[in-house]
Amino acid sequence: MLTLRPYQEEAVEAIYQHLRERDDNPCAVLPTASGKTPILARISKDAVGRWKGRVLILAHVKELLEQAVEKLGLFAPELRCQVGVYSAGLKTRDTEHPIIVAGIQSVYRRACELGRFDLVIVDEAHMIPPDGDGMYWTFLDEARTVNPNVRLIGLTATPFRMKSGHVCAPENLLNHVCYEIGVRELIVQGYLCPLVTRASRKKIDTSGLHIRAGEFVAGEAEELMDHSNLVEAACREIVEHARDRKSVLIFAAGVKHGKHITDVLREKHGAQVAAVFGETLSFERDRVLGDFRAGRLKYLVNVNVLTTGFDAPNIDCVAMLRPTMSPGLYYQMVGRGFRLCEGKDDCLVLDFGGNVMRHGPVDALEIKERGSGSGDAPAKECPECQALIATGYAVCPQCGYQFPPPERQMHDAQASTAGILSGQVTVAEHAVDDTHYSVHVKRGAPPGHPATMRVEYTLGFQNYISEWVCLEHSGWARKKAESWWRRRSNEPVPETVEEAVSLARGGALAETKSVTVRSVTGEKYDRIVGYELRPKPAYREPGWEDTDEVTHDAPAYAWAGREGIPF
């Protein structure tokens, strides 16, 4: 008995409503691991049983064909004897069954040989190209000569292509998204596994990579990621973070890079690891994937092999050791961890290619049509007064804060701190390498407008975070600045920012060992929410500059030594 989840029932009904009310072709969008095959099975069962029709299911990889056949029989056992397979890779060419599961590469010039179909269902429909040269277009043109009324249905998790935008358009084979449900909704409902990300310290620069056909040039990306120090550091971090994980899937930037990762994990960390590439022989690939699914192999490295059609619910850690400009590829990599599995509470995502920062939360991906703009955010937040203003402002109109000039994007060499889901809160502690104090005067501010002390913390290579201490302000801002100062110094609170900067540079403030940073995915700026400070420096009596003697006793101020000041 085929029982669908509520959202799967909704998707089926939306497809049927579209077919009844419109003349064009629908597409249903559901996340990876949400169960598109049961939807496919219900439609096939209805088409054959209720309406005496004939169905062709098309996919582009062997794994998807095998999954479709297996799950059609699992979800609808009465269909087993009605399903045939046409695939050169699977060495079978059935043509007579009411339901045919076929590889597009095998049948795109054989529509007449297969006979009349009433429905053609395309799994992973984002693989359909927008132009008229693809195999799907060739097949559908010929299929319409056999049955001019044949209807096309698409199922996909990512309704867009990297180079050409949305799959659905009036001029495309698929024309309208009839149903869509998102990742976050299904996680909340308990149908998908939650995702978490880990903090980072170092960054690498991908701005020197060239882009060809909408993607980083493969050889350049592999060369960037295959440096020995990066590979060894990444492997060390993967092993550290995945200590309590069971199944770790690693995406490499190329075959050489993948072999390098495999060697380091095996030789330096004693890891149970194997790799699969496009060149891996079928029997060897099947053996490795079987071991990985069964839990006999903890680490699996791959290059462009396991992004679609790979079903391993036990994956509880995904490590992206490759950068990509493709939001679809980014989604497919992360999506390998969506499936639920007994004993699996969440899936850890380690992003070494800056993909989370580049594309944003995986549940809020947006695709821009070619020529539609740069994709910059329409608003930004002032880090001083937190006002939300239009991106074009160079100076905050509310407080006068001067935004720094745009900088080229830098990306993490270690796992990104960015949340993998929109609204996700990440709190991470970062060691502070250096602290710089300066007087900040807003450009264009009126005479007498108070300055602030800018405190910039260096958290690693090309990784900084700043805060502003408002000592010359009044009210709450001044109270907050006084509290900040008293936590760090036995010196009286300065009245001016210049005095504060002079004292800070002279060693009057406790050193900051680390800062705790709170990041909320979708918000423009991170915020410091905690500190680990070294002891306060000893109080220096007036005139200390003229003597080598330092007084080590703190003055008897009422606030001296108090850490939890409530104001």
In this predicted model, what pLDDT tens digit does every residue of 492-508 receive, in sequence order? 999 999 999 999 999 99
How far is 19 from 55, CA to CA, in rounded Å? 15
The structure tokens 């050889």 sit at 219
Integer CA distances (angstroms), 105 to 62, 102, 139, 175, in order: 10, 9, 10, 23
6 or 446, higher pLDDT: 6
Confidence of residue 258 (pLDDT cuts 50, 70, 90): very high
How far is 330 from 338, CA to CA, in rounded Å? 13
CA dihedral 455, 458, 464, 470 (to 10 degrees): -10
Which of 157-161, 514-518, 520-524 has maximum average pLDDT? 514-518
Q: Are 221 and 423 in contact (CB under 8 A)?
A: no
Please provide the average confidence, as pLDDT, over all residues in the chain: 82
Nearest CA-CA partner of 506 in 449, 448, 437? 437
How far is 7 from 428, CA to CA, in rounded Å? 36
Burial of residue 31 (number of CB atoms within 10 Å: 0-12, 13-18, 19+): buried
The neighbouring-strand residues paired with 335 are none
Q: β-strands 151-156, 119-123: how paired?
A: parallel
Q: Are 88 and 28 in contact (CB under 8 A)?
A: no
The answer to whether 6-181 and 195-359 have equal CATH topology is: yes
Can you tell me whether residue 160 is helix, strand or coil? Answer: strand
Confidence (pLDDT) at 191: 94
* Range 6-181: architecture per CATH: 3-Layer(aba) Sandwich (3.40)
DSSP 494: P
Confidence of residue 442 (pLDDT cuts 50, 70, 90): confident
Confidence (pLDDT) at 459: 85
Integer CA distances (angstroms), 503 to 217, 222, 457, in order: 50, 48, 17
Q: For the domain 195-359, what is the CATH superfamily, name and number?
A: P-loop containing nucleotide triphosphate hydrolases (3.40.50.300)
39: amino acid identity, one letter: I
| H-helix segments, 386-509 | 475-488, 497-505
Tell me the mean pLDDT in the region 250-261. 97
The structure tokens 């201490």 sit at 469
How far is 51 from 183, CA to CA, in rounded Å? 33
Confidence (pLDDT) at 250: 97
Q: Are 136 and 129 in contact (CB under 8 A)?
A: yes
How far is 208 from 296, CA to CA, in rounded Å? 40
Integer CA distances (angstroms), 496 to 452, 479, 503, in order: 9, 14, 11
457: amino acid identity, one letter: Y
Sorted by where each begins, the domain ranges of the chain are: 6-181, 195-359, 424-567
Number of C-beta neighbours around residue 480 at 10 A: 15
Confidence (pLDDT) at 565: 24
Share of the chain above pLDDT 90, in %: 45
Confidence of residue 415 (pLDDT cuts 50, 70, 90): low
Confidence of residue 374 (pLDDT cuts 50, 70, 90): very low
Confidence (pLDDT) at 24: 93
DSSP 384-410: TT--EEETT-SB-TTT-PBPPPP----
225 or 65, higher pLDDT: 225
Tell me the mean pLDDT in the region 207-219. 89
**What stretches of 218-354 adopt beta strand conformation (E)?**
248-251, 273-276, 299-302, 317-320, 347-351
DSSP 417: -
Tell me the mean pLDDT in the region 410-429. 64
* Per-residue b or e along 225-234, where b marks 16 or more CB atoms closer than 10 Å to that residue's CB: bbeeebbebb
pLDDT of residue 522 exceeding 50, the answer is yes
Tell me the mean pLDDT in the region 441-460. 84
Tell me the mean pLDDT in the region 258-273. 97
| Tens-place pLDDT, residues 55-69 | 999 987 777 788 778
Confidence of residue 81 (pLDDT cuts 50, 70, 90): confident
- Helix axes of 36-45 and 6-21: crossing angle, nearest 10 degrees: 50
The structure tokens 């005479």 sit at 447
pLDDT of residue 563 exceeding 70, the answer is no
Q: β-strands 527-533, 512-520: how paired?
A: antiparallel
Tell me the mean pLDDT in the region 473-490. 90
Confidence of residue 543 (pLDDT cuts 50, 70, 90): low
Confidence of residue 207 (pLDDT cuts 50, 70, 90): confident
Confidence (pLDDT) at 408: 34
How far is 89 from 107, CA to CA, in rounded Å? 12
Confidence of residue 377 (pLDDT cuts 50, 70, 90): very low
How far is 349 from 519, CA to CA, in rounded Å? 16
Confidence (pLDDT) at 418: 66
Nearest CA-CA partner of 319 in 356, 369, 365, 367? 356
Return all residues near 45 (Cβ < 8 A) that are at least 6 apart: 2, 76, 78, 79
